[in-house]
Amino acid sequence: MEIGKALVSKARILIMDEPTSALSIHETERLFAVIRRLSGEGVAIVYISHRMEEVFALADRVTVLRDGRLIGTLAAREANRREVIRMMVGRELQEVLASGKADAPTRQPVLEVRNLRLEHPAPTPSRPMLVDRVSFSVAAGEVLRLAGLLGAGRTET
């Protein structure tokens, strides 16, 4: 809706923060076509995303912020995934992966969830539960991300 309002008002600057997070692939493709058209018409677009494929598909320049600080800006045609990731995490990706693998076996969970279940408030024969037998554990320093389509139980979990 906000993108539509901006188009109707003939905005000259458009800031989009993770605009595809709830869109289907088809809707994302349509949005990209609109972004490319607007860019061609001279609209300045700030596109915020963690999805590298989106950044490289749309951007003329890539700016990386880390902990609220500007790390750097690269021309998208000169940037590559490895360099952008290095800027994002502050070191080479191999170092990040190696340090995580070395620490993983010794980490004790600080949170464990086993067989989490949540009944649906309006159950149907095909969907009696909002969450059904979800299990996970998280160790100190780890980040757990739950992903899924709308209605998949992610928010309820």
State pLDDT tens for residues 70-92: 999 999 998 888 898 889 888 77
CB atoms within 10 A of CB 47: 20
The pLDDT confidence band at residue 106, using thresholds 50, 70 and 90, is low
Residue 40 pLDDT > 90, yes or no? yes
**Residue 12 tokens, joined:** 């000259």
3-state secondary structure of 16: strand
CA distance 139 to 111: 7
Which of the pair, 32 or 142, is modelled with greater confidence? 32
- Tell me the HSE value of 23 on the side-chain side, using a 13 A CA sphere: 14
117 Cβ contact partners less than 8 Å away, ≥ 6 residues apart: 129, 131, 132, 133, 134
Residue 28 pLDDT > 90, yes or no? yes
Query: What's residue 57's pLDDT?
Result: 92
> Which amino acid, one-letter code, is at 63?
T
* Mean pLDDT over each residue of the chain, to the nearest integer: 85
* Mean per-residue pLDDT, 99-128: 79
Query: What's residue 70's pLDDT?
Result: 92
Q: What is the pTM of this model?
A: 0.58
Q: Which domains does the chain have, with CATH numbers?
A: 2-103 (3.40.50.300), 107-157 (no CATH)
The pLDDT confidence band at residue 141, using thresholds 50, 70 and 90, is confident
* Mean per-residue pLDDT, 28-44: 93
**Contact between 46 and 77 (Cβ < 8 Å):** no
